[in-house]
Amino acid sequence: MRTIRFLLQKEFRQIFRNKSILLLVMVMPVIQLIVLPLAANYEVRNINIAVIDNDHSSYSQQLISKITASGYFRLTGYDYSFKDALHHIEADKADLVLEIPHGFERNLVRENSQQLFIAVNAINGTKANLGGAYLGSIIRDYNDDIRLRLTSQAKFNQVPVIQITSSNWFNVQLNYRIFMVPGILAILVTMIGGFLTALNIVKEKEVGTIEQINVTPIKKHHFILGKLIPFWILGNVVFTLGLGVAWAVYGIVPQGSLALLYCFTAIYLLAVLGFGLLISTYCDTQQQAMFIMFFFMMIFILMGGLFTPIDSMPDWAKTVSRFNPLSYLIEVMRMIILKGSGFRDITRQLITIGVFALILNSWAILNYKKTS
């Protein structure tokens, strides 16, 4: 313990000596947690639409007004032919084209049916799918209004009607920020812990102090623990700041046990810090460590379930995600913070992360070679 205490004193002096890095570690996650949820938005708005109204009737004007008043669409073109409207898509000025044919109002009133043509710019698949779905929903809603207007009340009551009553659990207002903030906080904690430890031992190699440490009687596990504990404490501090920002800015209060959340995060940090130290033992320069950590971090983020649900991934991607520690933290944070899950609900994730921590830190200790 005396050896570890001296190593911790050395590490904390190095951390507090560099004021700029300490400031970045404390301030940067707070700013990112405030800004990123505002930008990482699942809602698609301001979809540009070009309209070709060949009917120029009151019904077609009502439909166009209903589309523009929805808040999702922005009318960027009112053309006389599909060829003119297509130019808006080719110039990226329109995402969708809606063509209303001649006799739109007449066919609705007399024949009770009418087809509309919709062309979608599918370069951005997500925006195309959501834009088409929004437009289809608005048209169906408008169709129901027309149906109520044209059908007599007595006749309409004879038609069986199914009423749906829905209830939103855990996120009553369907606020996407409540879903995104825990995941973004998990990424920030992972990045801070992973990058700092990945650069730590490598920095000792570049400066030359590693040679002085290697000739001392310090055991390998003492050395790794001395590198691990300061950043473990720092990671918990960053996590606490993130929870404070989530509460102060977004009003997110953990529904579950705060102690359980800290317990899981503490074990998770051991796994991430061990992974960073493992990379550091293999690299000779900080540049190598940065690139390797960046490579793994991109995989962790993109396959962690923050932006794309893991259940919707291919089978091979689901298998890879099982070895992604970040996916477990994102899942558990959403379970505890949003759903109020307890210890039994996260037992599987807790055991898995514990195994990751044991394997990665043991690997880092075995791979660190004391050579003069």
pLDDT in tens, the chain (372 residues): 777 777 788 778 877 777 777 777 788 888 989 988 887 766 677 888 999 998 888 888 999 999 988 888 988 888 778 888 888 888 888 888 999 998 888 888 787 778 898 888 888 777 778 888 888 889 888 888 877 776 654 454 555 556 667 777 888 777 788 888 999 999 999 998 898 888 888 888 887 777 777 677 778 888 888 888 888 998 999 999 999 999 999 989 999 999 999 999 999 999 999 999 999 989 988 899 999 999 999 999 999 988 888 888 899 999 999 999 999 999 999 999 999 999 999 999 999 999 999 999 999 888 887 654
Helix axes 286-302, 258-282, angle to 10 degrees: 140
Mind giving me the DSSP string for 220-248? HHHHHHHHHHHHHHHHHHHHHHHHHHHHH
* Most distant CA atoms of the chain, gap in Å: 95
Helix axes 325-334, 176-207, angle to 10 degrees: 140
29 close to 241: Cβ distance less than 8 angstroms: yes
In order of their start, the domains of the chain are 2-40+173-367 (no CATH), 47-157 (3.40.1710.10)
Residue 76 Cα distances to 65, 79, 353, angstroms: 13, 10, 51
135 close to 67: Cβ distance less than 8 angstroms: yes
Residue 143 Cα distances to 147, 159, 303, 306, 341, angstroms: 6, 16, 41, 37, 43
Pairing of strands 117-120, 73-79: unpaired
Long-range contacts of 61-67 (CB under 8 A, 24+ apart): 62/142, 63/100, 63/139, 63/142, 64/100, 66/138, 66/141, 66/142, 67/98, 67/135, 67/138
> CA-based angle 6:7:10, to the nearest 5?
90
Predicted TM-score (pTM) of the model is: 0.80
